[in-house]
Structure 1
Amino acid sequence: MDDRDLLARVQAVIGREQTLDDCAVLPLGGEYLVATTDMLHETTDFPRGMTPWQMGWMAVAVTISDIAAMGADPRAVLLAIGLDDAERLLPIMEGAHDCCRAFGAELAGGDLDAHTELTIVSSGIGTVSPEHLVRRRGARPGDVVAVTGRLGEAQAALAGYDHLTLRLLEPQPRVAAGRALGRAGATAMMDISDGLALSLYDLQAAGGYGFAVDTRRLPLPAGVPEKEGCEFALYGGGDFELLFTCPEDILPVPGVEAVVVGRVIEEPRVLADGAVLERRGYQHRWSGEG
């Protein structure tokens, strides 16, 4: 059982619409407020060798990336820290503050507690005008499928390609790209921190239509053999890039480095090079059914 299996239980309580996007969407005057939260544990989410500063940066980056995927501007982040060692607090806070400052948000408060394992919960809010909000649903047959940046570089770093270490330890949310794509007319969007394959299945579940991807077009990690790089690009987590669909004629979008990798299709399937793409990537799993 994985986190997406458990999502069905959550939907039974709060409804399917509340679980489809990277953020909750709430009307606020003439704008939308988008809100999201993420929990990171040291043994599960922080790669070995990370500094406390990098842990603070990453905790905020995952939240800001969700806001970026809605086409929104990040405004504020709250940080709750379950702390195992008091000496780690200051550099964690400095990393979190530096990430907020880099992407235009305010580190506005939070909570502290004592834990046996370092645990950081980052909650963020952003704002976006209704006409520029981009959800996971909205893709239409004939739209192109595109991604920002190079895929698989964080996974490649985990596999020992040390020249890509910073891509893993200091991820860069695509705030400017998300904002520009929302204003240009992207029809669907999400971040791909769990891998491209799972993200395509998430978009398909949200919008109903399918996708046909050409793996020869994937922007592979630099300095990695092609076959291995394709595996990392399809199934590796931690990239913080954006997956989006749009009419082909809006590309290129000024200021956005993006590569078209496929098209939206009528059939509710996810295909790679004409065959069904394996549904796997980075997921949390539970062994029991209780």
Structure 2
Amino acid sequence: MDLRDIATQLTAHPSIRGKLDIAASTRALALTASTSGRPGDDAAAIARPDGGWDLFAGEGFMPQFVQDDPWFAGWCGVMVNLSDIAAMGGRATALLDAIWAPDAASADPLLKGLRDAAQAYGVPIVGGHTNLRSAELNLAVSVTGRASRLISSFAAQPGDVLIAAIDHRGEYRPRFDNWCAALDAPHDRLRGDYELLPLLAERGLVDAGKDISQGGIVGTALMLAECSRCGFDIDLAAIPLPPGVEIVRWLRTFPSYGFLLSVRPENASEVCAAFAERDISAAVIGKAHAKPEIALARQEDRAIFWDYASSPYLTLSKETAHA
């Protein structure tokens, strides 16, 4: 497929365009990148008086997803929040859930998914909110954590290399572009895989990145670039693919374990090797530059996916103050 066709298809996809809703909320709440907690990061980071950072994040879920696959939605309520904390170079400490359901029987698989994931990852659910008189099943989950050194959406620099670290040992769940590599994994492996991010931060090897969310590789790269006021060229030929998965779907896929890291070139080999030791695919898939755009590249061909100077995405950066 032609690069321009790929870029056009991705730009119009609902999972990527859905992130545009963030800008409406930040304007309504008068939030900027300089607001306490630095909106735009995967978790709010609050400096601790004794050093380090308190982290706080939360996720709300698409109602159709929760209703179609409630047990997996419960599992994801834990998993995606822990990814946000790891993406900040942190370790999760506790979870809170909020559920809505027509009755207790409807809520049971959702709660079981939450419980099973919390046990698997070793992070306790310490409270929340329950409504068993709702017309529909729905879910929101929050998480707290701590970090001694941050990985931030605002720290990417021109000259960095872009590393995609994704667990390929999985498969797609029906109907959605969710790649799940966690359900059959040993619990100690799940916990150790998340521990890798704070370890890399504490070793001074990684200070910029995001977890790959609903916007996939391209949408996440765009959010990282806009926050850091840089751009990325993504080399499609350099992206490792699981067997049988085509590139356009992979570029918009939401993996259960996936991170984009903007890394100083001299640290790239060591970072990739650390993931490889845990059998996680990690490869340099692009380079950072000073242009306000994400572009797709293949050999000598190049096509712009998104120019955030002309079409802001999150409308947050470390320099601007949009409200």
The residue aligned with 2:228 is 207
Q: Which amino acid aligns with 1:215?
A: L
> Equivalent pairs: percent with the same residue?
25
1:242 positional shift: 0.5
What does residue range 111-130 of structure 1 map to in structure 2 within 5 Å?
A: 111-113=129-131, 114-129=133-148
2:56–2:143 Cα contact (<8 Å) kept: yes
State the TM-score, normalized to the length of structure 2: 0.73
Indicate yes or no: 2:85 matched with 1:67. Answer: yes
For residues 193 and 217 of structure 1, what CA distance do their matches in structure 2 show? 20
Task: Indicate which of 29, 32, 39 corresponds to 1:16.
Answer: 32
Q: Could you tell me which residue of structure 2 aligns to residue 287 of structure 1?
A: none
The farther-off stretch of 180-189 and 191-200 is: 180-189
Q: What is the CA-CA distance between 1:78 and the residue it aligns to?
A: 0.3
Distance 1:170 1:77, change over 3 A: farther
Within the candidate set 205, 211, 217, 1:196 is matched to 217
Which one of 220, 241, 253 corresponds to residue 220 of structure 1?
A: 241
Give the aligned residue type for 2:32.
R
Residues 97 and 139 in structure 2, CA contact (< 8 A), matched pair in contact too? yes
Distance 1:168 1:146 in 2: 21
1:277 to 1:177, Cα distance in 2 relative to 1, 3 A: farther
Go from structure 1 to structure 2 and tell me whether the alpha carbon gap of 1:7 and 1:95 turns closer, same or farther (over 3 Å shift).
closer
Q: Cα 1:240–1:143, aligned 2, differ >3 Å: closer, same or farther?
A: same
Task: From 263, 270, 277, give the equivalent of 2:287.
Answer: 263
Cα distance in 2 for partners of 1:207, 1:66 equals 18
Residue 247 (1) aligns with residue 264 (2): yes
1:21, distance to aligned residue in structure 2 (A)? 0.7
Distance 2:174 2:108 in 1: 27
Alpha-carbon distance in structure 1 between the residues aligned to 2:119 and 2:170: 24
Structure 1 counterpart of 2:145, one-letter code: G
Amino acid of the structure 2 residue aligned with 1:95: G
The match for 1:37 is 58
- Residue of structure 2 in register with 1:276 after alignment: 304
247, 250, 258: which one aligns with 1:230? 247
TM-score between the two structures when normalised by the length of structure 1: 0.81
Mapped pair 1:101 → 2:101? no
Mapped to 2, the partners of 1:223 and 1:4 lie a distance apart of 28
SS at structure 2 position matched to 1:205? helix
- Distance, in Å, in 2 between the alignment partners of 1:170 and 1:238 is 15
Q: Secondary structure at the match of 1:252?
A: helix
Change (3 A) 1:57 1:150: closer
1:5 CA drift (Å): 3.4
Letter paired with 1:262: G
How far did 1:87 drift? 1.5
| Matches of 1:238 and 1:160, distance apart in 2 | 11
Q: Distance in 2 between matches of 1:183 and 1:207?
A: 21
Structure 1 runs not aligned, ≥5 long: 284-290
Deviates most, 11-20 or 77-86: 11-20
Decide whether aligned partners of structure 1 residues 259 and 53 sit closer, same or farther in structure 2, where only a CA change above 3 A counts: same
**Is the partner of 2:283 in helix, strand or coil?**
strand
1:54·1:169 contact (CA, 8 Å) conserved in 2?
A: no
Residues 1:267 and 1:160: Cα distance change in structure 2 (over 3 Å)? closer
State the shift of 1:76 in Å: 0.3
Letter aligned with residue 222 of structure 1:
P
In the alignment, the residues of structure 2 paired with residue 73 and residue 170 of structure 1 have an alpha-carbon distance, to the nearest angstrom, of 22
Between the aligned partners of 1:106 and 1:57, the Cα distance in structure 2 is 13
Q: Could you tell me how far 1:160 is from its partner in structure 2? A: 9.6
- Distance in structure 1 (CA, Å) of the matches to 2:145 and 2:222: 26
Indicate how the Cα distance of structure 1 residues 64 and 223 shifts in structure 2: closer, same or farther if over 3 A, else same: same
**Is contact 2:217–2:251 with CA below 8 Å preserved after alignment?**
yes
Deviations 1:13-60 (A, max 9, x none): 3421142111111123322111011112441x3484x3x432321111
Q: Secondary structure at the match of 1:126?
A: strand
Number of residue equivalences: 268
Taking the aligned partners of 2:260 and 2:179, their CA distance within structure 1 comes to: 22
Counterparts in 2 of 1:189 and 1:166: CA distance versus 1, 3 Å = closer
Within 1, Cα distance between the matches of 2:175 and 2:23? 33
Q: Specify the code of the residue in structure 2 equivalent to 1:231.
A: V
Please say if residues 37 and 122 of structure 1, whose CA atoms lie closer than 8 Å, have aligned partners that are also in contact: yes
CA distance in 2, matches of 1:160, 1:245: 27
- Counterpart of 1:9, as a letter, is A
